[in-house]
A and B are shown apart, each in its own frame.
Chain A
Amino acid sequence: MQAYLKLDHIDKTFTRGNATTEVLKEINLTIDKGEYVSIIGHSGCGKSTLLNIVAGLTDCTNGCVLLENREVNSPGPDRAVVFQNHSLLPWLTVYENVRLGVDKVFASSKTRSERDAWVMHNLNLVQMAHAKDKRPSEISGGMKQRVGIARALAMEPKVLLLDEPFGALDALTRAHLQDSVMALHQKLGNTILMITHDVDEAVLLSDRIVMMTNGPSARIGEVLEVPLARPRKRLELATNPGYLKCRQRVLEFLYERHRFVEAA
């Protein structure tokens, strides 16, 4: 089977003056269409850099990112990003934030009223249609992140990139939003690449978990398949032996073999 998204021998070094730091080394990863892949690792291991490279927001030093066998090296709506801190434009309403992307992506393929309907459709998907005329400062953190997801989905991306999307949320909101993302993935069949540092989140949501070693020169340490049937239910999984085994594997990787070394 041909890879849908392929990360091919990606290296990344940052140079500042004379000092060069190798952040990522030899990252190889293929993701199939409709797959949900999580990247997990300690903070500072370069997972966000990796996501930015896939998004095209950062250039890689060596290697390339292939999407449907074509190299992508600049940002675009085919790889929409949901940012950790939602990144909604505060001077636009919820509706206008989503509309901004829709207007660019479907400028020629949809009429004005179709675009309007498409924005509302996507706001409905994340249950945010009721707040369409509110500004980001008037809605809660979880709601902002929902809108961020709607904005990304509305661009009909080939790959949805989630950069620690639930990191800034409280535990209850996070669980609620994770369920929503799972339901959306189930319904729309998006290909999703997610950065996380939460073991439970990774196991619950992913088909595969990519575990990164500590930086500098972070590599992919191990890739774990999560053989749990979908749809997954949070409560049932809590006692599911398969879930616990996966969780155990990730924890062992993170806390025994690649313990986080406190950087000076």
Chain B
Amino acid sequence: MNMPAIKTEPATAIVAPKTPGASAPAATPVVTMTPKRPPRSEKYSKMAKDTAVRVVPPLIVIALLMLFWELVCQRAGSTLPPPSRVFKDTKELIFDPFFDRGGIDKGLFWHLSASLQRVALGYSIAAIVGVALGTLVGQSVWAMRGLDPLFQVLRTIPPLAWLPLSLAAFRDGQPSAIFVIFITSVWPIIINTAVGIRNIPQDYRNVAAVVQLNPLEFFGKIMIPAAAPYIFTGLRIGIGLSWLAIVAAEMLIGGVGIGFFIWDAWNSSHISEIILALFYVGIIGFVLDRLIAGLGKIVTRGTSAG
């Protein structure tokens, strides 16, 4: 409905100076000038083009890979199913992720949500503990000297190596899995936070000193925002690691969870189900990473720019 209105205006503008003769030849065309705005259809087509530039190449690559996979695995004696078989075998799982027949015979949604809950809990504890310890280590030279060597050694221990120990301590699968998530993701958070705190410019400390912020205000108003880019780097590495660790941990502890789903599928030789589960694990890992990155972008807006 807007289009005709905009179009008529310039038309009258051209007519106007002709009719009144010499009364105000300079003023009228200036007043009626409308800023040239590209038509809406043009804007949409530009947007579509931009999206296509980003979406089309990966789509082509995926299609080619699928084709390659299909061709390689179609042979009679191939050990892995081609994509068409995967789809046929797992149709039920794909289209009905919410079924629940008791025990561990549940839809993929329930497995994934169980895994995500463990990660959410373990990762949240890691984030809180990691930022707190990182602040301590970044702020106090003595804490750094005392704790840093310990961290450097502990962080190299593979996540699964912690599992037997935590099973011995907790005597239950659930808290052990959560502990493994925690211990896996806490190190990058600690180390990055410490670096961020150590790198707070002296100027900001001076400002805080002149204004006489107390330690708590200094923590909340200077340290956290100033170190936020570093903290979020640590958080992002942490979420990736914890998603890596959960699958491995769940394979061992059993119960509901995507890790055990994969193990169970392997035991019953449902190779197609494994491939479907891997697809979901990848997508969710990607989404988690983007989520933390996006959160970081919102929180640290303005911080990095001087």
Interface residues of A (CB under 8 A from B): 55-57, 74-77, 79-81, 83, 85, 87, 89-91, 100-101, 104-105, 135-137, 155
B206 CB contacts on chain A under 8 angstroms: 55, 57, 75, 81, 83, 87
Partner of A90, one of B212, B221, B306: B306
Indicate if B211 sits at the interface (CB-CB under 8 A). Answer: yes
In the complex, are the beta carbons of B212 and A77 less than 8 A apart? yes
Question: What residue in chain B is nearest A101 (Cβ atoms)?
Answer: B211
Question: What residue in chain A is nearest B207 (Cβ atoms)?
Answer: A87
Known: A90-B305, A135-B302. A75 touches B209 (CB 8 A): yes
In the complex, are the beta carbons of B302 and A91 less than 8 A apart? yes
A85 CB contacts on chain B under 8 angstroms: 203
Partner of A100, one of B209, B221, B302: B221
Interface residues of B (CB under 8 A from A): 201, 203-204, 206-207, 209-213, 217, 221-222, 225-226, 228, 300-306
A90 CB contacts on chain B under 8 angstroms: 302-306
Question: What residue in chain A is nearest B305 (Cβ atoms)?
Answer: A137
A81 to B209, CA, bound (A): 10
In the complex, are the beta carbons of B211 and A100 less than 8 A apart? yes
Partner of B225, one of A79, A80, A89: A89
In the complex, are the beta carbons of B222 and A89 less than 8 A apart? yes
Known: A75-B210, A81-B210. A137 touches B306 (CB 8 A): yes
Partner of B212, one of A57, A75, A89, A137: A75
Known: A135-B302, A137-B302, A137-B306. A87 touches B211 (CB 8 A): no
In the complex, are the beta carbons of B204 and A87 less than 8 A apart? yes
B201 CB contacts on chain A under 8 angstroms: 87
B210 CB contacts on chain A under 8 angstroms: 55, 57, 75-77, 79-81, 101, 155
Interface SS majority for chain A: loop
B271–chain A nearest beta-carbon distance, Å: 51
In the complex, are the beta carbons of A87 and B306 less than 8 A apart? no
Interface centre among B207, B221, B300, B301 (most CB of A within 10 A): B207
In the complex, are the beta carbons of B204 and A89 less than 8 A apart? yes
Question: What residue in chain B is nearest A79 (Cβ atoms)?
Answer: B210
24 contacts between A and B (CB under 8 A): A55-B210, A56-B209, A57-B206, A75-B209, A75-B212, A77-B210, A77-B211, A79-B210, A80-B210, A85-B203, A87-B201, A87-B203, A87-B204, A87-B207, A89-B207, A89-B225, A89-B226, A90-B303, A91-B300, A91-B303, A100-B211, A135-B305, A137-B305, A137-B306
Known: A89-B222, A90-B306, A137-B305. A57 touches B204 (CB 8 A): no
Which 3 pairs show the lowest CB-CB distances between chains A and B? A137-B305, A87-B203, A75-B209
A80 to B210, CA, bound (A): 6
In the complex, are the beta carbons of A76 and B212 less than 8 A apart? yes
A77 CB contacts on chain B under 8 angstroms: 210-212
Q: A87-B206, A155-B211 are in contact. List 15 more A-B contacts (CB 8 A).
A: A57-B210, A76-B210, A76-B212, A77-B211, A87-B204, A87-B207, A89-B221, A91-B228, A91-B302, A104-B211, A104-B213, A104-B217, A136-B306, A137-B305, A137-B306
In the complex, are the beta carbons of A57 and B209 less than 8 A apart? yes
A55 CB contacts on chain B under 8 angstroms: 206, 210
B206–chain A nearest beta-carbon distance, Å: 6
A151 to B300, CA, bound (A): 23
A104 CB contacts on chain B under 8 angstroms: 211-213, 217
A155 CB contacts on chain B under 8 angstroms: 210-211
B306 CB contacts on chain A under 8 angstroms: 90, 136-137
A237–chain B nearest beta-carbon distance, Å: 33
A55 to B210, CA, bound (A): 8
Question: What residue in chain A is nearest B225 (Cβ atoms)?
Answer: A91
Question: What residue in chain B is nearest A83 (Cβ atoms)?
Answer: B203
B228 CB contacts on chain A under 8 angstroms: 91
Question: What residue in chain B is nearest A144 (Cβ atoms)?
Answer: B306
A75 to B225, CA, bound (A): 22
A79 to B300, CA, bound (A): 31
A167 to B305, CA, bound (A): 21
A79–chain B nearest beta-carbon distance, Å: 8
B300 CB contacts on chain A under 8 angstroms: 91
A75 to B211, CA, bound (A): 8
Question: What residue in chain A is nearest B300 (Cβ atoms)?
Answer: A91
A55 to B203, CA, bound (A): 13
A75 CB contacts on chain B under 8 angstroms: 206, 209-210, 212
B210–chain A nearest beta-carbon distance, Å: 5
A118–chain B nearest beta-carbon distance, Å: 15
B305 CB contacts on chain A under 8 angstroms: 90, 135, 137
B221–chain A nearest beta-carbon distance, Å: 7
Question: What residue in chain B is nearest A55 (Cβ atoms)?
Answer: B210
Question: What residue in chain A is nearest B303 (Cβ atoms)?
Answer: A91
A201–chain B nearest beta-carbon distance, Å: 22
A54–chain B nearest beta-carbon distance, Å: 12
